[in-house]
C-alpha cells in the first residue's frame, strides 16, 4: 500500500474553510490534517462533502468515541437515528490557547461512486479548548447516492482556520 498526493493546502492566515478536491477514481482516499489552529475559541471542526466543488448541506449522519486524558470516555453521535444533519463533526471543541492544535487522519470511501453513499472514518488528536489532550475516533456518511469530488473542512458557527496543512492522498 502506498499514497499518491492529490492536493494540499497550507493555511498561514485566517480562512473560513479549506477545500480538498480530487477524488476522481473509485480508490480509497486519505486526508492528513497537521497543526490545525483556529481564531475563535470553543468551536467544533466539521466537514462537508463536495459535489462538483459545491458543499452538500444535507443527509449527514455520524458516530464517534471521545477520549480524554483527564476524564472518562464519551460516546457521541452527530444526529439521532431518526434524522440527518447539515455537516459531520470531526473533533471535540477546539480553542485558541497556546498549543491548542488539531491533528488527524481521515479516510474517504465511495466518493467517486454515484450509486453509493460517501463514507468517512477518522482519528483525531487535539489539545482542546480546555487545555487538555483529547482524541476522537469515529465515522460518518453523507447518505446521498451521488459522486463527490472532495471535502470542505470548516468550523461550526463563526470563526476561521488560522493555520495547518491539509493534504489529500489517493491510497494506491
- Model confidence at 68, pLDDT cuts 50, 70, 90, reads confident
pLDDT band at residue 67 under the 50/70/90 scheme: confident
The separation between the first and the last C-alpha atoms of the chain, rounded to the nearest angstrom, is 6
Question: Would you say residue 78 has pLDDT above 60?
Answer: no
**Do residues 106 and 121 lie in contact, with contact meaning Cβ atoms separated by under 8 Å?**
yes
Say which CATH topology domain 3-171 has: Jelly Rolls (2.60.120)
Can you give the residue ranges of every domain in the chain? Answer: 3-171
What is the average pLDDT across 83-87?
84
CA dist list (Å): 132 to 93, 98, 103: 11, 11, 14
**What are the backbone angles phi and psi of residue 58, rounded to the nearest 5°?**
-140, 165
| Model confidence at 146: pLDDT above 90 | yes
Q: Write down the pLDDT at residue 170.
A: 98
Amino acid at each position: 500500500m502506498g499514497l499518491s498526493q492529490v492536493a494540499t493546502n497550507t493555511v498561514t492566515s485566517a480562512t473560513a474553510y479549506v477545500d480538498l478536491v480530487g477524488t476522481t477514481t473509485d480508490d480509497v482516499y486519505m486526508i492528513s490534517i497537521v497543526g490545525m489552529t483556529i481564531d475563535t475559541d470553543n468551536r467544533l471542526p466539521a466537514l462537508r462533502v463536495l459535489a462538483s466543488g459545491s458543499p452538500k448541506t444535507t443527509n449527514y449522519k455520524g458516530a464517534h468515541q471521545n477520549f480524554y486524558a483527564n476524564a472518562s470516555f464519551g460516546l457521541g453521535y452527530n444526529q439521532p437515528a431518526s434524522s440527518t444533519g447539515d455537516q459531520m463533526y470531526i473533533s471535540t471543541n477546539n480553542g485558541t490557547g497556546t498549543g491548542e492544535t488539531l491533528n488527524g487522519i481521515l479516510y474517504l470511501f465511495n466518493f467517486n461512486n454515484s450509486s453509493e453513499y460517501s463514507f468517512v472514518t477518522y482519528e483525531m488528536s487535539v489539545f482542546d479548548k480546555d487545555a487538555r489532550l483529547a482524541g476522537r475516533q469515529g465515522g460518518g456518511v453523507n447518505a446521498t447516492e451521488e459522486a463527490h469530488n472532495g471535502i470542505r473542512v470548516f468550523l461550526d458557527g463563526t470563526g476561521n482556520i488560522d493555520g495547518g496543512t491539509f493534504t489529500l492522498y489517493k491510497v494506491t
